[in-house]
Amino acid sequence: MANIKSQIKRNRQTEKRRLRNKAVRTELKTRTRSALEAAESGEGLAEATSAAMKRIDKAAAQGVLHPNTAARRKSRLQKRLDGLAG
C-alpha cells in the first residue's frame, strides 16, 4: 500500500474508473451479442442494432473506447449483421 497521500488518492480514482469502464465494456458486449442473436432469429433486429451502435458511440464519448476503436467495432458489427440478415 502506498504511503504518499497523492498516490493513495490516485489509487482510489483508478479503481473507480476501472469499475466504471468494466461495466461499460460488459454492457457493450451484451448489446453486441443481443444484436447478433436478433440477426440470427430475425426479430427486433433494428432495435438491437440501434442499441448496440448507440452504446459503442457512448463508450467512445465517455473515453472508455478510442474513437477509432469504436468506429472499427461498429463497422465489423454491421458487416456481421449484414451477412447474417442478408
- Per-residue model confidence (pLDDT) at position 86: 64
pLDDT attached to residue 61:
96
Query: Using CA atoms, how far apart are residues 7 and 9, in angstroms rounded to an integer?
Result: 5
Q: Containing domain of residue 29, as a range?
A: 5-85
Residue 14, C-alpha cell as written in the block = 483508478
Contact in structure between 77 and 52 (CB atoms under 8 Å): yes
The enclosing domain of 22 has a CATH number of: 1.20.58.110
**24-82 pLDDT, tens digit each:** 999 999 999 999 999 998 888 999 999 999 999 999 999 999 999 999 999 999 999 99
49, 21 contact by CB (below 8 A): no
* Total number of domains in the chain: 1
Q: What is the pTM of this model?
A: 0.84
